[in-house]
Amino acid sequence: MAIEYRTSPGAPLTNDLVRELRKDFPILDRTVNGNALTYLDTGATSQNPLQVLDAEREYYLGANSAVHRGAHTLAVDATDAFEDARRTVAGFINAAETELVWTSNATEALNLLTYSFANASQGIGGHDAARFALGEGDEIVTTEQEHHANIIPWQILAERTGATLRYIPVTDEGLIDYEAAQTIVSDRTRVLTFTHVSNVAGSVTDVEMLVSLARKVGAITVLDACQSVPHMPVDVKKLGVDFAAFSAHKMLAPTGIGALYGRNELLEAMPPFLTGGSMITKVTMNEAQWMPAPIKFEAGTQRVSQAVAWAAAVRYLDHLGMDQVHAWEAHLGQLLAEGIAEIPGIRLIGPAAGQPRAGLAAFHVEGVHPHDVGQLLDEKGIAVRVGHHCAQPLHRALGLTASTRASAYIYNTTEDIERFVDQLSTVRAYFGY
């Protein structure tokens, strides 16, 4: 099926162009409490364009069958679609197709890593896997800025292996303290894991700096790329990280699928996490031999239709051009930051207005709980996220229990941001401040 796009490839995003794009997203036409929907919660999950939904439907209508098995034509077509999707998604971050493992979501990707490391620590995977084995005296370093998905798996791994989990602290603005990082990363550091873009602060991490710290001490680097891959050009080779996790539903595709990137050499050496059907070559009553990566990590029936849909989302984004996506979102991010910062009694979290930030902004309204802020905005049809955004340690460091976050994407206009800022400016008065 030839896919049709409404705009010419790589055209700069403008309000007019975004209005055209919005026709691909029928959900954005619905009303909420009698108002047009203003969707500013892409940081939590994005909306899917027709091209993506159609791709998934086409797959089910024309090729659905079991992949990597069976000799019939449908099985071949399904396997082709599945592996083409892998090439497409891997190519999007400049990885080889053998370097991309499908997972249920980014959380599972990070758990895959930590459980594989735990297996290696118990001797599974033999000599090759010893480089992933952790024990007493070893340190895993993460940051106080992380999403819980990049904290708890490492807590469990530390508990299981006797390694110590350490944190690079954040500054008063909620930004990674790079000076502290230099003393925390040491010869004992075996893993350094960090987010690329903070889902709360909206800051972009200096990956180059942290990767160079890790390399000096021979530590494995892990990047949480959930908030970067959907929004900016990401080249894992240029960044030089060993592993990266990201997910489809934050980039115009359905829920249920995520991915782990790992350098070929590392994926080959790493023992599997989930085991069972599909991931083996030879099985006896006592043991099994594994397929090469990435199939080694993909036990059981895979998420074929979601992979196909994700590839369609990648093509949609490629058509827009990630440089253009990034430029538009940087613009929207600035408008958000400026608008929020100008309202009295509201504290902007993360980089100050005018400083580089992603297309999202979290903030604290003095005297008014985020739930109440979100409720008032919802009354006007404006969807934002309220709560701790799965980043309790970061909120604690900021002296907060929760915050409100607006996050934009390719389907948001500058008018969306203005409508949001206008409503936000009425919130404190409503609650008597």
**CA separation (Å) from 94 to 109, 264, 296, 356?**
18, 13, 21, 24
Q: Which stretch binds another protein (CB under 8 A): 21-29, 167-175, 342-350, 424-432?
A: 424-432
- Shorter beta-carbon distance to another protein: residue 60 or 431: 431
Q: Please, are residues 394 and 402 in contact by the beta-carbon 8 Å criterion?
A: no
- Shorter beta-carbon distance to another protein: residue 77 or 372: 372
CA–CA gap between residue 11 and residue 326 (Å, rounded):
12
Residues within window 42-81 making contact with another protein, judged by CB under 8 A: none
Go through the chain and tell me how many residues it has: 433
Q: Which stretch binds another protein (CB under 8 A): 182-190, 258-266, 308-316, 394-402?
A: 394-402
Closest contact distance (angstroms) between CB of 38 and another protein is 16
CA–CA gap between residue 75 and residue 124 (Å, rounded):
33
Q: Is 345 in the site for another protein (CB under 8 A)?
A: no
Residues within window 5-44 making contact with another protein, judged by CB under 8 A: 33
Closest contact distance (angstroms) between CB of 349 and another protein is 15
- Near another protein by CB under 8 A: residue from 49, 125, 272, 370: 370
The DSSP secondary structure of 174-224, one letter per residue, reads: S-B-HHHHHHHS-TTEEEEEEESB-TTT-PBP-HHHHHHHHHHTT-EEEEE
Q: Is 385 in the site for another protein (CB under 8 A)?
A: no
Residue found by looking up tokens 């990363």 in the block = 185
Q: Which stretch binds another protein (CB under 8 A): 13-21, 138-146, 295-303, 369-377?
A: 369-377
CA–CA gap between residue 265 and residue 335 (Å, rounded):
43
Q: Is 431 in the site for another protein (CB under 8 A)?
A: yes
Residue 144 structure tokens: 């106080």
CA–CA gap between residue 288 and residue 282 (Å, rounded):
6
CA–CA gap between residue 34 and residue 52 (Å, rounded):
28
Closest contact distance (angstroms) between CB of 30 and another protein is 17
**DSSP secondary structure letter of residue 232:** S
CA–CA gap between residue 297 and residue 299 (Å, rounded):
6
Residue 267 structure tokens: 């994926």
66, 291, 390, 397: the catalytic one is 390
390 is catalytic: yes
Q: Is 375 in the site for another protein (CB under 8 A)?
A: yes
Distance of CA 370 to the CA centre of its chain: 23
- Near another protein by CB under 8 A: residue from 184, 386, 398, 408: 386
Q: Which stretch binds another protein (CB under 8 A): 74-82, 170-178, 387-395, 414-422?
A: 387-395
Size of the site for another protein (CB under 8 A): 19
Q: Which stretch binds another protein (CB under 8 A): 5-13, 253-261, 307-315, 381-389?
A: 381-389
Q: Is 231 in the site for another protein (CB under 8 A)?
A: no
CA–CA gap between residue 39 and residue 408 (Å, rounded):
8
- Shorter beta-carbon distance to another protein: residue 2 or 429: 429
Residues assigned a catalytic role: 390
In the complex, which residues of this chain contact another protein (CB under 8 A)?
33, 368-372, 375-376, 379, 386-388, 392, 395, 401-402, 430-432
